[in-house]
Amino acid sequence: MTPLNATEEPTAPTRKLRIALFSGNYNYVMDGPVRALNMLVAYLEKQGHEVLVFAPTSKEPAFEHNGTLISAPSIALPGRSEYRFSFGVSSNIKARLKSFKPDLIHLSAPDLLGYTALRYARKNQIPAVASFHTRFDTYPRYYGASWLEKYLTNYMRHFYQRCEHVYPPSQSMADELRADGIGHDIRLWTRGVDSVMFNPGKRDLEWRRSIGFEDKDVVIAFVGRIVLEKGIDVFVEAIGRAKGVKALVVGEGPERARFAEKLPAGHFTGYQQGEDLARAYASADVFFNPSITETFGNVTLEAMASGTPALCAKAAGSLSLVEHEMTGLLAEPTSAGFASALERLAGDETLRRRLGERARERSLDYSWNTILGQLVGNYYEAIDNYQPNQQKKP
């Protein structure tokens, strides 16, 4: 994968660091958090820092990852076999950590691997920080187990309060974490976008025609993992209620067959990346993200860079990316609310053009080089201010 925007040059490192990164997924399924972590590792290595990544692996990874990846023992997750569950920090991982002598441990998920890595850090007096990628405690509501949410939220408090820093990707997500008592020192690690790859010039009417759309059609795009927690049921209902729109679905996931059955007139491209993905974004007329579980929304930022106006749920993540009536539209996360907004966008080409142009302008503020440099600055601060005898919460 491409580690950095072609126009960006890394700055010289101020002090060489050794970073141990723990993740529940690093290369076997491509999603927003995984893309950000791979960008981070590539950036760190270009800066001259050393990085070891510890994560579950599969026989058939989704892409060629960045950096040195050490496999953590794992099994396929029951009911969601595309994901893997790690058994935690093994004796082999402990040996690698002892030899590596990390200055900092970065945790990207509060799973068993992350929890046991946190325990290792505390026992060995190594500062630990955590990036916050997913509001896991909201997932049970999509699988008939809402009663689990309060227990998962309590566990997340327990986990993140023991980290030196917590890095959510958006201000709205940071506000939620503070309100819920998840973490002590909360700092932003936003995301960047390759504005050369994703740009309005990638719009391709010939491609649209080749997959069954007419030039007059208003094409509404969904991009992402096809899973329940991305709000696909609401997407289907909203498309069904809105007049004058057609659906384009870009992505793969366990719910694809059911999604396609409910959207018989929609076009499904499957998983796309690189130039093909950029073309799909730019060739749509509206990008529609109904998810309320986003902590940032990489797909929304890519759509913005492509000059495609976004309609998103009025929820954390999207609230920090999309400025209502300026760079896109925000709506209450109901099929009726979304359908009304879709009809408005479908019937007003001038509005779509204005929102798309401003979205593109706003996206240019998200430079990977600047954002990752700020994160490394937080690393230095976490290391330099670490007081092992005053660790967070025993």
User: Does residue 143 belong to any structural domain of this protein?
Assistant: yes
Q: Are residues 359 and 372 in the same domain?
A: no
Residue 13 is classified by DSSP as P
**Which of 5-9, 215-219, 293-297 shows the highest mean pLDDT?**
215-219
Q: Are residues 42 and 90 in the same domain?
A: yes
User: Does residue 4 belong to any structural domain of this protein?
Assistant: no
Q: Are residues 120 and 263 in the same domain?
A: no
Range of the domain at 286: 200-363
**Which of 25-39, 94-108, 138-152 shows the highest mean pLDDT?**
94-108
5: pLDDT strictly greater than 80: no
In this structure, the strands spanning 74-77 and 80-86 are antiparallel
DSSP 143-201: GT-GGGHHHHHHHHHHHHTTSS-EE-SSHHHHHHHHHTT--SSB--------TTTS-GG
Return the exposure string of 349-358: e unless at least 16 CB atoms fall within 10 Å of the residue's CB, then b.
eeebeebbeb
Q: Are residues 38 and 129 in the same domain?
A: yes
Q: Are residues 131 and 183 in the same domain?
A: yes
37 in Cβ contact with 23 (< 8 Å)? yes
Q: Are residues 26 and 87 in the same domain?
A: yes
Q: Please give the pLDDT value at position 152.
A: 87
pTM of the model: 0.75
Rounded to an integer, the average pLDDT of 186-194 is 93
Q: Are residues 372 and 359 in the same domain?
A: no
Q: Are residues 358 and 224 in the same domain?
A: yes
- Residues 6 or more apart in contact with residue 103 via CB below 8 angstroms: 17, 18, 19, 126, 127, 383
118 in Cβ contact with 151 (< 8 Å)? no
Q: Radius of gyration over alpha carbons of the chain, in Å? A: 21
Rounded to an integer, the average pLDDT of 137-151 is 72
Place of tokens 């509206």: 286
Q: Are residues 224 and 323 in the same domain?
A: yes
Question: CA-to-CA distance for 265 and 257, rounded, in angstroms?
Answer: 14
CATH number of residue 266's parent domain = 3.40.50.2000
195 in Cβ contact with 271 (< 8 Å)? no
Residue 62, token pair as written in the block: 């989704």
113: pLDDT strictly greater than 70: yes
| Cβ neighbourhood burial of 151 (10 Å; 0-12, 13-18, 19+) | exposed
User: What are the pLDDT digits (tens) for 272-284?
Assistant: 999 999 999 999 9
User: Does residue 10 belong to any structural domain of this protein?
Assistant: no
* Cα angle 241, 244, 245; round to 5: 75
